[in-house]
Amino acid sequence: MSKKQLFSIEFKVRCSPNILYEFLSSPAGLQEWFADKVDEWEGVYSFTWGNGVPEKAQILEQEQDKLIRYHWLHSDKGEYFEFKIAKTEISSQTILIISDFAEKNEIKDQSQLWDSQIKELFHRLGS
């Protein structure tokens, strides 16, 4: 079994970090674009797609309007997926940086999946 590798992708977002953060960190916001159903109980988020079995994740780290890092409970220790919000220095453009883990030969597919999800997020943001 090969070890998963960390990869990151960036997206320019036309909205405030505060609004974006709500879509990345709250069950209601995540349910708008990330999963069909999202619940949170005692710091554990439950994500459901279609009629599938819920996937559970917990927050490892968060900083209001800047960063939220989740760990899938079924994943290896040290693996996570993260949403980081940054601003460009010159234009003050909001940037969303997604970091995730995947097998080396699956990084392209995983990046395309994130791209598709982010398009849905932008649609919901009106961005």
What's the confidence (pLDDT) of residue 90? 85
**Whether residue 17 has pLDDT greater than 70:** yes
Strands 37-41 and 67-72: unpaired
Q: Are 66 and 18 in contact (CB under 8 A)?
A: no
For the chain, the domain total comes to: 1
Q: 43: domain CATH number?
A: 3.30.530.20
Encode pLDDT of 46-90 as tens digits: 999 999 999 999 999 999 999 999 999 999 999 999 999 999 888
**Whether residue 91 has pLDDT greater than 90:** no
Domain assignment of residue 26, given as a range: 5-125
- What token pair was written down for 112? 């395309």
Q: State mean pLDDT over 96-124.
A: 96
User: Which region, left, alpha or beta, applies to residue 32 given φ > 0 means left and ψ of -120 to 50 means alpha?
Assistant: alpha
What's the confidence (pLDDT) of residue 2? 55
Q: Which amino acid is at 113?
A: L
CA 103 to CA 119: how far, in whole Å?
23
